[in-house]
Amino acid sequence: MSFLLQSIFNGLLAGCIYALFAMGLTLIYGVLNFVNFAHGELIMWGAYFLYLFMGTPFGFPLPIALIPALFFTILLGIGMDRFAFKPIRQANRLTLLIAALGLSFLLRNGAQLFWGAELRTYGFEIKRGWRILNMSITINQMAIIITTLICIVIVYLLFHRSKLGKSMRAVSDNLELARVSGINTKKAIQFAWILSSALACVGGILLALDTNLQPGMGLINLVKAFAATLLGGVGNLWGALLGGIIIGLAENLGVLVISTGYKDAIAFGIMVILLLLRPPVLYGTQE
Amino acid sequence: MNVDLFLHLWIMILIYIIFAMSLNLEVGYTGLFNFGHVAFFGVGAYTSALLTLHQVPFELALVAALIVAGFSGFLLSIPSLKLRGDYFGIATLGFGEIIRMVFQNEVWLTKGPMGLPGIPKPVLFSYRFATLPQYLLLTIGFTILTFLVLRFVTRSPMGRVFKAIREDEVSTAALGKNIFHFKIKSFVIGSVFAGLAGTLWGHYTTFISPGDFTLLETILVLLIVVLGGKGTEWGPIWGAIVLIFFQESLRFLKLPAEWTRYLAPLQQMIFGSLLIFLMIYRPEGLIRGKGGR
Amino acid sequence: MKKIIYCLFILIGISLFLTPAPKAQDTYKVGAAIALSGSIAVYGEGFKKAIDLAAEEINGKGGMKGKKIEIVYEDNKSTPKDCVTAVRKLITVDKVPVIIGPAASSNFMATAPVAQESKVVMLSAQGAAPALTKAGEYIFRVFPSDVLQGKGISDLCLQLKYMEVPIMYVNNDWGLGLKNVFVENFKKAGGKVTDEIPYDEKKTDYRTELIRATKGNPKAVVNLTYIVEGSVMFKQAYEMGINTQWICGSAAKAPKLVELAGKTVEGIIGTYPVFSQETKEYQAFRALWTKKYGDAKIPIFGEYNYDMVILIGKAIEKGGYTSDGIRKALFEVAKGYRGVTGDKTFDQDRGVGSEYGVWTVKDGQIIDYKK
């Protein structure tokens, strides 16, 4: 097995998942101008909702269980906004950040309350990967890549070809102007949350397929999503994809050189460096 | 009546009062949202623990811990203070986590995940603070010291500049004050006292490991500051009393063994909800900060 | 302001009355800080069963001097910090003179200084790190030190003609300690350690470590792992198509590992401290177990836990219900005592000796390995 090629592949794979997270994060960042610190928990709950509906007493197969999982994650996202963020929409950003921190805490421990802190798995049969080009690729991993591509296409179409997408872009450019121009900003915001939650849910499920579930999986991936967002430019969907892949590659190639214990530190490090070198500017949704 | 439990509660409360007061200086008085504060708590704890485990006298170890914590604060603040508001928060959060990972991975220095057991009891000028009542005395002493020092700082001209920066950075700069320098001063002082709290904590629990210095601790101390009323002198004190009392009593509650696994997450959920609740309904906390003090 | 002062006094008052004063003792309480939640809970549930079985045995025979033994459980949540809290609670609130300590060498070693300083006896039934009982004369172990197992693993590699191996290990006291003993012995015998790869516990993804370990396609890889981490690693190794002979230590010899990892652990081998299953003590234990728990498999370390509690009972009976009494009595009652797990005589470091055998997984069952 080629050491290097496998690491590159793993990096691309992780990058796809991070891209989904980043897209979800950047949507809210763009439209509402704040970093949803609880986005990681949307990811985590999305994965756990699927676990819930695939297990007893429901026992649905994956494609069927996906529907309620998506539904509830979206509900959670909208609920988040309605109960925690909307009341302080006008407050300063620090207040929002603290509230989001508190929310993420609440949700993370909620999951731990229900499911305990131990690792859980979807329980699919373990199969040997295929040998392609001296690398090992499992069917799950192929599914992740394909799903990511499909999601990106769907989101792109929604964002750039639909009326709602246009409203979202207008709102993210300038909220007041959009409202004054007669755009239904409330609906645009709600749509942003729906889309963001859906992306988080799918991303979370794919992540859990690859590396199993635990309540702490939200936070660390939030940081990676944020780093990817910064890399690609806030509000920029293609940038999120690129940013995600760069982070994924950096992580998997980086640990060939430095100790594996610092793998997560790579994303943190990139994020910090970016913040220092390039304080985020809202680029809007132009490519 | 369980005296040991009572003493334990108050020792923990006092340690967190020091920790919260140090964050309050940065967050409450200067308006710097430091989400990585636990890093300096940890640096203080590790420095003092490592030194005393190698037979360095406690007096020296304590001073060293304060210096190292303060210096780390200095190093960290220089790059990050250029950032505004919430980006500063996120950057400091990142730094906090990176420092924790250093604790975890540099096994040759910190023994990594195995942690440092058997940290010796403090000895100040030949007086050994071994029993609970003795340790309480030690902690009370340091808490009063911290309170007075920080009170002096916030009421001094430097403190007035801190508050001015919190209220309106631009105008303060226009008045000729070097914002950057003042922010660094605030950050360093805060880090020094966080290191003090960490040292006291490490010598009390006798065992520290990287898992003790996570985002959870930052959220806890942030909640204490916000709940008590940031930017007030007594805010951190009340906040710590209420929250630490709650947290530690829960820990020592006699529950059937099957229930204990629910206790910790439930408690954290309450903390999380409390933060949200406070932000929405009462951001100023229990004690309202008086403007212009 | 007045309202707040009022509240403060109420709080002080409540904290004084939080725990009622201990009632008169009508049982001999023995503390047990075991993992009822967290990553070690998979082992912990087994320990509890074995401990309860032993306690029942003691009480069934009339207890010690007529009084029954009562095990006071405290969840140590599998983290060192919570272990320290649990042990402290048992010492300060329940005021027990002897404690069954936490599993996992790191967790145990974090709490040992606490017990030692408070002069409370603490025993370990599964701690293997060589330095385990270093904290002081109140700390005992009924499970043999890894100084012997490290040599055992090294001998096994040499026997199977694996002269060059990489070694992966859990990054904690147990893994590090065992790794060091292995490397020392292996090198002395002419073997070569090609790489040393520590990894953190409780991670969900070990592919990076696996890639590094199997760089260059080694014939065998030594992996000092636990149940949960092992299950993740072996499953991922299987998916990645890694084909190598895995050599493990005793912590992986658990039915639970096979349950979690399924076919991916087929064929792995490892060492373990061996005790004969033919002795009458073992047969008696097995009979008791089956009577109480039916077909449930005897969990890993179950026999050690059982022996430990029986020894505690004997020590209380002989030395009295005080720490020092128990401490002195332990040496006396264990001398020449043949427990389920063999001779439990304590040496001067308060540890016990053992022989080492080899196990493997075949057709989903853990059996002894025959070359």
B282 falls within a domain: no
Host H or E run for residue B170: helix B169-174
Q: Do B113 and C198 touch (CB under 8 A)?
A: no
Mapped onto helix, strand or coil, the DSSP state of residue C101 is coil
Cβ(C359)–Cβ(C270) below 8 Å = yes
Residue C87: partners with Cβ closer than 8 Å, 6 or more residues away: C31, C33, C74, C76, C99, C101, C102, C111, C114, C115, C122
Asked, for residue B235, whether it belongs to a domain, the answer is no
All domains of chain A in start order, with CATH: 2-282 (1.10.3470)
Neighbours of C229 (CB within 10 A): 24
Residue at token pair 């320290």? C84
**Does some domain include residue B97?**
yes
Number of domains in chain B: 1
Say what the pLDDT of residue C10 is. Answer: 67
Mapped onto helix, strand or coil, the DSSP state of residue B133 is helix
Alpha-carbon distance of C45 to C354, in angstroms, equals 25
Tell if the CB–CB gap between B206 and C114 is shorter than 8 Å. Answer: yes
Asked if B58 is an interface residue toward chain A (Cβ–Cβ < 8 A), one would say no
Q: Which of C39, C169, C204 to mutate to test the interface with A (most CBs of A within 10 A)?
A: C204
Minimum distance, in Å, between the CA of residue C85 and any CA atom of chain B:
8
Asked whether residue B291 is domain-assigned, the answer is no
Mean pLDDT of C257-270: 90
Tell me the shortest Cα–Cα distance from C75 to chain B, in angstroms. Answer: 6
Question: Pairing mode, if any, of strands C365-368 and B123-124?
Answer: unpaired
Residues 6+ apart with CB under 8 A from C82: C38, C75, C76
Q: Percentage of residues in chain A with pLDDT exceeding 90?
A: 29
pLDDT of residue B291: 43
- Print the domain residue range for B101: 3-214
* Cis peptide upstream of residue A57 (ω within 30 degrees of 0): yes
Alpha carbon dihedral C240, C243, C244, C246, in 10-degree steps, equals 60
Q: What is the mean pLDDT of residues A72-80?
A: 94
Interface residue of C240, C244, C256 to substitute, partner A, most A CBs within 10 Å: C240
Q: Look at the alpha carbons of C247, C209, C126, C72 in this order and tell me if their dihedral is positive or negative.
A: negative
Q: Is B212 on the interface with C (CB under 8 A)?
A: yes
What average pLDDT score do residues A179-186 get? 80
Cβ of B4 within 8 Å of Cβ of C93? The answer is yes
Q: Which residues 167-206 on chain B approach chain C with CB closer than 8 angstroms?
A: 205-206
User: Which pLDDT score, from 0 to 100, does residue C55 have?
Assistant: 92
Supply the pTM of this predicted model.
Answer: 0.85
Q: Which of A12, A114, A131, A211 to mutate to test the interface with C (most CBs of C within 10 A)?
A: A211
Report the distance separating Cα B210 and Cα B232, nearest Å. 31
Q: Measure CA B286 to chain center.
A: 19
First to last CA, chain B: 42
B263 part of a folded domain: no
Asked if residues B41 and B68 have their Cβ atoms less than 8 Å apart, the reply is no
C184 close to C151: Cβ distance less than 8 angstroms:
no
Residues 6+ apart with CB under 8 A from C125: C47, C100, C103, C141, C142, C143, C301, C304, C305, C307, C308
pLDDT at B17 over 90: yes
Q: Return the pLDDT at A1.
A: 56
Is residue B290, in this structure, part of any structural domain at all? Answer: no
pLDDT at C51 over 90: yes
Q: Is residue B236 assigned to a domain?
A: no
pLDDT tens digits along C286-341: 999 999 998 888 888 899 999 999 999 999 989 889 999 999 999 999 988 888 88
Collect all residues with Cβ–Cβ distance below 8 Å to A99 and sequence separation of at least 6.
A84, A85, A88, B275, B276, B279, B280
Tokens 């009972």 label which residue? C313
Does residue B188 lie in a domain region? yes
With an 8 Å Cβ cutoff, are C77 and B261 in contact? yes
Which of A98, A261, A268 lies closest to B279 in CB terms?
A98
Closest CB from B90, B226, B272 relative to A275: B90
Q: What are phi and psi of A132, to 5 degrees?
A: -125, 125
Four-CA torsion A233, A239, A240, A244, nearest 10 degrees: -110
Confidence of residue C14 (pLDDT cuts 50, 70, 90): low
Task: List Cβ neighbours of A87 (8 Å cut-off, separation of 6 or more).
Answer: B280
Which helix (H) or strand (E) element contains residue C246?
Answer: strand C245-248
- Asked if C192 reaches chain A (Cβ–Cβ under 8 Å), the answer is no
Better-scored residue on pLDDT, A27 or A201: A201
Cross-chain CB nearest to B94 (options A94, A259, A268): A268
Chain C residues with CB-CB distance to B207 below 8 A? 80-81, 84, 110-111, 113-114
